Amino acid sequence: MTPEFAVELVKMMMFQAVLLALPILLTALAVGLAISLFQAVTSIQEQTLAFVPKALGVTAIIVLLLPWLLRSSVEFASAVIAKMPEMVR
């Protein structure tokens, strides 16, 4: 395996990880921001009010995007397996 190939493989893996995590993290960020804004406007400082909607939002986005997440992961794994003969050089 050449150093260039190894760097390219690591770059692809990092991009895939970011691509899969991004929708989940953005959902948590958006829900958290909305709840924080709501708490600031209404002066309600309940901790469970911040946690429960975030957990529900993240769960919902995972359920909605699960087919895409799995398909993307399988395609990436297939591409890496297909490149295995190049790793021996």
The CA–CA distances, whole Å, from 9 to 27, 71, 74, 89 equal 28, 19, 16, 15
pLDDT at 22: 97
* pLDDT tens string 13-49: 999 999 999 999 999 999 999 998 998 898 888 877 8
Task: Write the single-letter amino acid at 46.
Answer: E
Split into its structural domains, the chain has a count of 1
Domain span at 36: 3-87
- pLDDT of 10 higher than 80: yes
